[in-house]
Amino acid sequence: MALTNRGLNRRERRNLEILRMDVILAGYNLDKELIERAKRGECASDMVFSPESISAAYARISRDPDPVNILREKARRDIVRARKSNRRIVFDMGHHSVAEHVIFNIDIIGISRLAVESLEEARLCAYTEKSQRYVTLDGDSVMPQEFQQRDRELFKQLTHEQNQLYLRAFPALLELQKRKNPQLYELEHGRATIEGWAKEDARFALNLATETQLGFSPNARNLEYVIRKLRHHPLSEVRELGHKLFAVGSEIAPSLIILSDPKAFKEQFGWEVSDAFIQGGRLDLKSISEKMFSRFSSESDQKNTTASAAAVSLVDHCDNPDVAVVASLLHSTSEHPKPYDYCVRIAREMQRADMHIEYIKQALEKLTEYDAVFREFEHATFTFEISVSASEFAQWKRHRMMTLTKQPYDPSLGYSYPEAVIEVGLEPVYRDLFDKTTEVFLQLQKRYSQAAQYALTNGHKRRALITVNMRELYHIARLRMDEHAQWEIRNTAAEMISRVAEIAPATAFLACGKGGFHSRRGQLYNRD
């Protein structure tokens, strides 16, 4: 059966219930001389096309007086020695940054939206994912490996109903957008925009097992870290992803993707690397946390916290963010450098005299909607708790210059759906589907504490904690408060900026969407 299935396309394989994740090495960086020789047809039998020669050569820069190009030539000619050098420098001496010079490009096909969340927790990698806004979905979904046969049938029936509502809602939502935006629909690019709005509103009916694909580009150091985490994940699909990433990475760069294989590491170095913390550290903490809740919480506390579902709460922030930014700017830009505590005192004096506003105005006078504000804005930090749908969380996880932690999806927080669903008269149908999905989830949760989340829809919610600095908030505002942003994250971002503006009115004033930037700038500088 396995041999005959190789020629089937993904739809045919899905119908036979043999659809599996594909992880394909698309490319990796090579020494230019190897590429040039290959172009000239000079490929010798002893040539090894590996990016490890680059990392080995760069690792020698700090200790070898030869020019870098000579170091590359030496490593290129003796890849066996280069690999030994990599292992010694990276793992014996602990210079793991050397592995960052090796870059992989990896295709990942047939992965669920739920599993993607675990992969994209790695912040220092590049991802481009299939969009549910631009691609019309046709029912492809991943069957959780954990489910037994009776639960597979239950899950398949629920998935079918969710997909049918998506297919029913999309044309109705598209007609609504056409009526509301007739002039935009006349434009070629406008039709794509309107169709995208309809698709992203219809998708709230789809579950987290919905299949997606992405391009994934890590460096070797980050790939190894990702593999170690994924191989101990509670979901079978995510563990499978970890094993497949190890297979493609270790084949090309075996000297750098070795920490992910404890057995091979022990054979190479003679001592073991424990995965105990990665494998069980969070599980241990979970049980300890439950004991602390039990010890220090009353029954009324438990009821109140379960019901709490505030969309946006500013739960913490640095002391006086405006002063933090002004003091940091004074600290780094003065012609006569002063210690930070002195700069803080001056910034507070400026604030008392309302001079900090003029100072910030001058600092940002040449700012455009495409510029990042000064790095000193990163010294003002804020922590938010947000309650968001799976659809919105999928967008927040792409913001990597902030700290994002999350709770499991929790049906008790309710669910989200677009205003457009109400306008086309489908609200009762969506609510019925959400309620039925929650019932199925609760049944599955008794047997599969983690895998039950596959059944939940894009509309179901979870809580997340975001710690972000003012500079990244500007980026969030530019992107997510723009008129082209998805409605849900646009509302959340606007609420976050509003809360920040209450405590940091001077430094947050120009944090807005790209479309509103010139108007806001005009207010600040009293210009048309």
**For 471-509, how does the pLDDT look when each residue is reduced to its tens digit (9 = 90+)?**
999 999 999 999 889 999 999 999 999 999 999 999 999
The pLDDT value given to residue 49: 85
Read off the tokens for 187: 């434009």
Least confident of 76-85, 178-187, 488-497, 509-518: 76-85
C-alpha triplet 254, 258, 259: angle, nearest 5°: 160
**For 82-141, how does the pLDDT look when each residue is reduced to its tens digit (9 = 90+)?**
888 877 877 767 678 888 999 999 999 999 999 999 999 999 999 999 887 777 777 789
The pLDDT value given to residue 6: 45
| Cβ-contact 465, 385 below 8 angstroms | yes
Q: How confident is the model at residue 309 (pLDDT cuts 50, 70, 90)?
A: low
| Cβ-contact 141, 207 below 8 angstroms | yes
Spans of all domains in the chain: 30-101, 279-308, 319-376
Q: Name the residue with tokens 């979901």.
A: 235
Q: Work out the average pLDDT over 446-473.
A: 97
Q: How confident is the model at residue 14 (pLDDT cuts 50, 70, 90)?
A: low
Q: Name the residue with tokens 């809602």.
A: 169
pTM listed for this prediction: 0.88
Percent of the chain with pLDDT over 70: 90
CA 357 – CA 340 distance, rounded (Å): 20
**For 46-62, how does the pLDDT look when each residue is reduced to its tens digit (9 = 90+)?**
677 889 888 888 888 88
DSSP, collapsed to helix, strand or coil, labels residue 384 as strand
CA 215 – CA 118 distance, rounded (Å): 15
| Cβ-contact 82, 72 below 8 angstroms | no
* CA 28, 32, 36, 37 torsion-angle sign: negative
**For 390-419, how does the pLDDT look when each residue is reduced to its tens digit (9 = 90+)?**
999 999 999 989 999 999 999 999 999 999
The pLDDT value given to residue 26: 96
The pLDDT value given to residue 2: 36
Mean pLDDT, all residues of the chain: 88
Q: Work out the average pLDDT over 210-233.
A: 94
Q: How confident is the model at residue 76 (pLDDT cuts 50, 70, 90)?
A: confident
DSSP, collapsed to helix, strand or coil, labels residue 528 as coil
The amino acid that residue 438 corresponds to is T
Please name which of 114, 117, 125, 109 lies closest in space to residue 397, comparing C-alpha atoms: 117
The pLDDT value given to residue 80: 86
**For 313-330, how does the pLDDT look when each residue is reduced to its tens digit (9 = 90+)?**
999 999 999 999 999 999
